[in-house]
Structure 1
Amino acid sequence: MNIIKKRKSLLKALSIGLVLLSGNAIAKETLTVGTDLTYPPYNYLNGKTPSGFDADFMRLVAKELGQEVKFLDTRFANLVLGVNLKKFDVIASTLYVTPERAEQIDYIPYMKTGGVILAAKNGEFTPTKPADLCGKRVSSIQGAAWIKKLNVVSSEECLPKGLSKIDVREFPTSPEASQALIAGNVDAQFEDAAVAQNAADKSGRLVLTSDIIYPVVVGLGLKKGNAELKSKLASAVANVEKSDAFKKLLLEYSVSTPNEKEVKAALDGTL
């Protein structure tokens, strides 16, 4: 009887082990992606489906890897923390490459864009450059890379001229930053060019008043030290960038891919 019981226990243990191995195999077949789905046209929900540039791009990358992809809606300010806590494998959320972020995460650059200024349509205030924002209330999505640059404008251009600093007001999402402008609670909004154009088109009450300011490189973000995943993703991204589907995506969103010089400049803060 003891021998029979031992055999049954052994078979049960083996069965549990196989189930666990099966579960791990399934998990490894899914690439989890952290993205802020309140940032159209790059990242948004179309019904219940994650859509936009980054969603389409990551589907191409996952296909190249032979994996399924799962998007985890995460507010922008929490993305770097989330990937470092292993809440997801990679960030794909129009994440600008900056020296400060590069100290916290690894990057795989894949796109280039830039910021612009939005103002009220038919309003009296039509800023065309950052210095025009001295003494003004400016809305922005929380944690945006350009906030530090606007603070530099305040200290180097506004205050020396006896003008008040730029009053940057951060909001959890870009639509909330736009709504603050529409409501007259701020004087202008600083936003990515494609996102700003989308907000202007949808609201009918906002207008872009500047050309692209602060050109930026965008990259996937990964937890530092994850060399195996970084190598696989970098290889997949390189292959996707050669595809007609990716080239079509770039045209659709009026963006481009950065060159090595631009990536280096973004990483050392000179872009």
Structure 2
Amino acid sequence: MELSKSRFLQTVSGVTFAGLALLGQSTAHAEDALADGKLTVGMEIAYPPFESYDGDKVVGFDPELATLLSNKLNVEAEFIDAKFTNLILGIKSQKFDAVISGMYVTPERILVTEAIPYARTGAFILTLKDAEIKPIDENGLCGLKVGLQQGTSWVKDLTALSDGYCAENNKGSITIQEFPTAPEVSQALISHNVDAQVEIAGAARMFVERSRGRIEISSPELIYPQTMGLFLKKGDMALKNKVEDAMAQIKADGSYQMLIDKYELTAVSE
């Protein structure tokens, strides 16, 4: 249907004013989020080396990254402990401004958040040191009971592997057992309740170190390489722009690369 000139101008004006209103709301939210001098960051503080408690202090890669970014934003980083499965919900309900918690950027998460990639890594397979079966890659998990932390992307990956490769080659299905936290998966492995654990590389190395020789990494190479991201509320472009600018600054001054090297991660260029 064609519009008269006057109606067309009214329609364009309405869209323009609506767009400006949304832009104003986005800018206002970014200012509100930082107005109290804090950037509140949700994370599960039971996931070394990414985040854990050292006494009353939160330590690890993610709090260090959050602190670097907050310094550039001229605010203080405040950490809020939450279950991994509740972190994205926490952004949507504005319980915190951002999530930085060793979380992968996935299509499902991009649909409901704004994501800023900050590092690349992958997973290792963990088994008991005296285990009879020690998978060297994900295909070796066929027929085994595998422990995973709830909410991780590997649940979907291993389900697809089990239904595809394992079934097609008559190698037995993968039995996936989920636990609330990654340390609980390691405890289940030590207790022989699961045959293997799939865990992000940095945490896997930490669990091996803390197991006193009971657990080892069986896969020589990383499996399921992924990009980790910082997550913000969907549509909050003003805050995203501020954080991206802060990220660019820590990359420029070298502090980002020093942190990446410290935790043996791979940097992202964008």
Report 1:1-271 matches (<5 A): 28-204=36-212, 205-210=214-219, 211-259=221-269
Aligned equivalents of 1:185 and 1:80: distance in 2?
Answer: 29
| 1:25 Cα deviation after fit | 9.7
The runs of 4+ residues in structure 1 deviating greater than 3 Å are 24-27
5+ long unaligned stretches in structure 2: 1-31
Which letter maps to 2:215? L
For structure 1, the 5+ residue unaligned runs are 1-23, 261-271
The alpha-carbon deviation at position 130 of structure 1 amounts to: 1.2
Q: Give the structure-2-normalised TM-score.
A: 0.85
**How large is the RMSD of aligned CA atoms in angstroms?**
1.4
Alpha-carbon shift at residue 121 of structure 1 (Å) = 1.0
Q: State the distance in 1 between where 2:259 and 2:89 align.
A: 29
SS in 1 for 2:188: helix
1:39 counterpart SS class = coil
**Deviation string for 1:32-78 (max 9, x for gaps)?**
00011110001111111111000001000000000011100011111
Post-superposition Cα deviations, 1:61-115, rounded to whole Å, max 9, x if no partner, equal 0000000111000111110011111000000001101111111111011111101
Aligned amino acid, residue 249 of structure 1 = L
Aligned AA (1:246): Y
User: What CA distance in whole angstroms lies between the structure 1 residues aligned with 2:33 and 2:85?
Assistant: 31
Q: For residue 26 of structure 1, report the CA deviation from its aligned partner.
A: 8.2
Give the Cα–Cα distance (whole angstroms) in 1 for the partners of residues 148 and 198 of structure 2. Answer: 6
Q: Give yes or no for contact 2:50–2:203 (8 Å, CA) kept in 1.
A: yes
Question: Within 2, Cα distance between the matches of 1:159 and 1:240?
Answer: 47
Report the TM-score, using the length of structure 1 for normalisation.
0.84
